[in-house]
Amino acid sequence: MLVTGKAHKVGAHIDTDAIIPARFLVTTDSAVLGANCMEGLEPGWVKRVSKNDILVADENFGCGSSREHAPIAILGAGMPVVVAKSFARIFYRNGFNMGLVLLEVGDGVDKLRDGDKLEVDTEAGQIRNLTTGENVACAKVPPSMQELVDAGGLVPYVKKRLAHKQQGA
Amino acid sequence: MPHNLAQKILQAHTDEEITGSGQIVTCRVSLVLANDITAPLAIKSFKGMGAAQVFDKDKVALVCDHFTPNKDIDSAEQVKVVRDFAREMGVTHYYEGGDCGVEHALLPELGLVGPRDIVVGADSHTCTYGGLGAFATGMGSTDIAGAMALGETWFKVPTTIRVEYTGQLEPFVGAKDLILHLIGRIGVSGALYQALEFCGPVIDALSIEGRMTMANMAIEAGGKVGLFQADAKTLAYCAAHGRTGDKVLKADPGAEYEQELLLSVSGMGPQVACPHLPDNVRPVDELKGLRVDQAVIGSCTNGRIEDLREAAAVLKGRRAHKNVRLIILPATPKIWRQAMDEGLFSIFLDAGAVVGPPTCGPCLGGHMGILAGGERCIATTNRNFRGRMGSLESEVYLANPAVAAASAVAGEIIHPGKL
């Protein structure tokens, strides 16, 4: 997967109430959630985002509630990848389950500035900063997660498992 | 290899051999949970998976507790989706009305969770059941849909931080203070991806309710689970709530721990988490004089009968300050009735409190106590993220029920012993 877009940088411990406040949780519509992405961080934040832009965060991104509305809101806002120093555990599962690619790069995040143009190559395990010319290495997606991504997310993965079960029965 | 408690429970639910942390194992689950916010998404995924039936209609719990009693048309529509699904699947444990309470207070009360269980829930505070010795953890809706369909899910075997509490608890200091103190010390990502295992004489002496309060906030340190080894108290609690056949599972001698912390609580006063993260913890005395506009007593953290008794002991014969809205939400119908029968409501009403129905409501800024810009609330809830209870310009301070009650009376944050 190759994504090129502008970096939008946020801080540490960005919680799910910042990503999508609870008052928007009366819907599961990705367009509506996307239009309110980061509304708990700064009203109108999402207006800066263009399709295929990349969210860049400090440590523990996505901490807080288990709401899957958070990765859906990020995807709905047009951002297919989040690069962070580290992710909160539930958010990490949710991201992959929803088809949002999450790259944990540790202190490499410090080489990425707000507004830099980035090229993310998940297969090569590399983030190229096209603005500064610097590269940041990222670990490849873990095999168990790759299996999910290859299947197209958790929904098709379980669908396949259920079909196998039925054949076996 | 010798297993710690987390590994021991996971091993009891898988045919694969657990050989260390970091390993990914598939485990059978004992109970799968979702609520009115997360179930609609789970149901969408469940249908998308082509699943026709839940794996076991007695092992799925759907609790509509967040925006209920339904606050608006959209939330009513969401609950309708959950209700229709529950009927279609014949789900035994569906709750939305007079039998409904805050999920993590309700399920233990119904005897649906116990030691050695693996519980997965589409709610981050599912870790509460660690107080009963269950490996219980929050996940997203689609993970929960998969678990509802298959009756199993994958786990990465976590490393464990063992936390031992020693010393003597001071008056007005309890479970909430023990966990806030720890979060303040290790930080909101201090246990990221890890299990917390609590032990020591202070823990042994703690009630099951208190252990659930602590386990509840394991996630606020980033933890996957907050585990307490089951003991005679746990078994007595389970038996009193209609369970049979529960057994105690112990960590093996020589089990591996990533980190061992020893915390002495002697001389420690009540703790308060200041805005806007649960690890911004300070002793209550340092915050004295900070004006509050609202006090909320309730939630999956501190809405149990013990918590209400603690608040009542402070409020008895006193009134909330005229500038403070005091909102008390018993977490389940059973707790509500118990509080009523014990005469606690007279104390609360005499104190000028609003006593509301069981609901998560204000904790997540849902309804029944939303804050305006510039307002400050002291709450017995679990999160104080910016905007959590309403306006982005409002503030939430997290404390134990006695501190919240005392602060409501004083109109400012105060140590209950200094009221």
Residues of B in contact with A153 (CB under 8 A): 142
Residue B15 has pLDDT above 70, yes or no: yes
The pLDDT, as a whole number, for residue A169 is 52
CB contact under 8 A, B44 and A59: no
CB contact under 8 A, A17 and B386: yes
Question: Could you tell me if B308 and B407 lie in one domain?
Answer: yes
Question: Could you tell me if B256 and B144 lie in one domain?
Answer: yes
The pLDDT, as a whole number, for residue B396 is 98
For the ranges A98-107, A137-146, B117-126, the one whose mean pLDDT is highest = B117-126
The pLDDT, as a whole number, for residue A25 is 93
Once rounded to an integer, what is the mean pLDDT over residues A98-106? Answer: 90
Nearest chain B Cα distance for residue A14, angstroms: 9
Question: Could you tell me if B20 and B169 lie in one domain?
Answer: yes
Residue A151 has pLDDT above 80, yes or no: no
pTM equals 0.94
Q: What percent of chain B has pLDDT over 90?
A: 98
Report the C-alpha gap between A131 and A24 in whole angstroms. Answer: 35
Once rounded to an integer, what is the mean pLDDT over residues B99-122? Answer: 98
- Strands A117-121 and A2-9, how do they pair? antiparallel
Question: Could you tell me if B259 and B290 lie in one domain?
Answer: no
Report the C-alpha gap between A71 and B275 in whole angstroms. Answer: 25
Question: Could you tell me if B182 and B314 lie in one domain?
Answer: no
Q: What's chain B's Rg over C-alpha atoms?
A: 20
Report the C-alpha gap between B207 and A20 in whole angstroms. Answer: 36
Q: With bands split at pLDDT 50, 70 and 90, how would you rate the model's confidence at B330? A: very high
Nearest chain A Cα distance for residue B40, angstroms: 8
Residues of A in contact with B219 (CB under 8 A): 90
What is the domain extent for residue B312? 272-418
Q: At what angle do helices A89-98 and A143-151 cross, to 10 degrees?
A: 30
Helix (H/G/I), strand (E/B), else coil: B247: coil
Q: Would an 8 Å CB–CB cutoff place A89 in contact with chain B?
A: yes
Question: Could you tell me if B233 and B339 lie in one domain?
Answer: no
Once rounded to an integer, what is the mean pLDDT over residues A8-16? Answer: 97
ipTM value, please give it: 0.85
- Strands B195-199 and B225-228, how do they pair? parallel
The pLDDT, as a whole number, for residue A168 is 66
Question: Could you tell me if B139 and B23 lie in one domain?
Answer: yes
Q: How many domains does chain B have?
A: 2
Which residue in the block uniquely carries the two structure tokens 């014949």? Answer: B90
Once rounded to an integer, what is the mean pLDDT over residues B196-201? Answer: 98
Q: With bands split at pLDDT 50, 70 and 90, how would you rate the model's confidence at A152? A: low
Q: Tell me: the pLDDT tens digits for A38-81?
A: 999 999 999 999 999 999 999 999 999 999 999 999 999 999 99
Question: Could you tell me if B138 and B283 lie in one domain?
Answer: no
**Region for residue B386 given its phi and psi (left: phi exceeds 0; alpha: psi -120 to 50; beta: otherwise):** beta
Interface test with A, best of B44, B49, B183 (most A CBs within 10 A): B49
Residues of A in contact with B154 (CB under 8 A): 144
Q: Which of B263, B293, B314 is the last residue of a domain?
A: B263
Report the C-alpha gap between B254 and B239 in whole angstroms. Answer: 31
CB B332 within 8 A of CB B102: yes
Q: With bands split at pLDDT 50, 70 and 90, how would you rate the model's confidence at B39? A: very high
Tell which residue, B86, B236, B66, B268, has the closest CA to residue B168: B268
Q: Which of B230, B263, B296 is the last residue of a domain?
A: B263
Which residue blocks in B319-361 are alpha helix, DSSP H? 333-341, 344-350
Question: Could you tell me if B256 and B317 lie in one domain?
Answer: no
Nearest chain B Cα distance for residue A27, angstroms: 7
Once rounded to an integer, what is the mean pLDDT over residues B271-287? Answer: 98
Once rounded to an integer, what is the mean pLDDT over residues B348-371? Answer: 97
Once rounded to an integer, what is the mean pLDDT over residues B104-113? Answer: 98
Question: CA angle at residue B121 from B182 to B146, to 5 degrees?
Answer: 135
Question: Could you tell me if B130 and B257 lie in one domain?
Answer: yes
Report the C-alpha gap between B155 and B120 in whole angstroms. Answer: 11
Question: Could you tell me if B234 and B276 lie in one domain?
Answer: no
CA end-to-end distance (rounded Å), chain A? 37
Which residue in the block uniquely carries the two structure tokens 């900070």? Answer: B290
CA B184 and chain centroid, separation: 18
Residues of B in contact with A76 (CB under 8 A): none
B76: closest chain A residue by CA: A26
CB contact under 8 A, A97 and B140: yes
Residues of B in contact with A97 (CB under 8 A): 140, 142-143
Tell which residue, B366, B344, B367, has the closest CA to residue B355: B344
Q: What is the CATH number of the domain that holds B402?
A: 3.30.499.10
Which residue blocks in A8-127 are alpha helix, DSSP H? 16-19, 30-35, 69-76, 89-98
- Ranges assigned E (strand) in B305-388: 325-329, 354-355, 376-379
Question: Could you tell me if B229 and B200 lie in one domain?
Answer: yes
Residues in a beta bridge with B165: B263
Peptide bond into B276 cis (omega under 30): yes
Nearest chain A Cα distance for residue B353, angstroms: 25
Q: With bands split at pLDDT 50, 70 and 90, how would you rate the model's confidence at A161? A: confident
Once rounded to an integer, what is the mean pLDDT over residues B106-121? Answer: 98
Task: Of A83-92, B20-29, B290-299, give the lowest mean pLDDT range.
Answer: B20-29
CB contact under 8 A, B385 and A18: yes
Higher-confidence residue: A96 or B307?
B307
Residue B146 has pLDDT above 60, yes or no: yes
Number of continuous H segments (helices) and E segments (strands) in chain B: 14, 18
CB contact under 8 A, B385 and A27: no
Once rounded to an integer, what is the mean pLDDT over residues A16-42? Answer: 95
CB B119 within 8 A of CB B101: no
Report the C-alpha gap between A155 and B48 in whole angstroms. Answer: 6
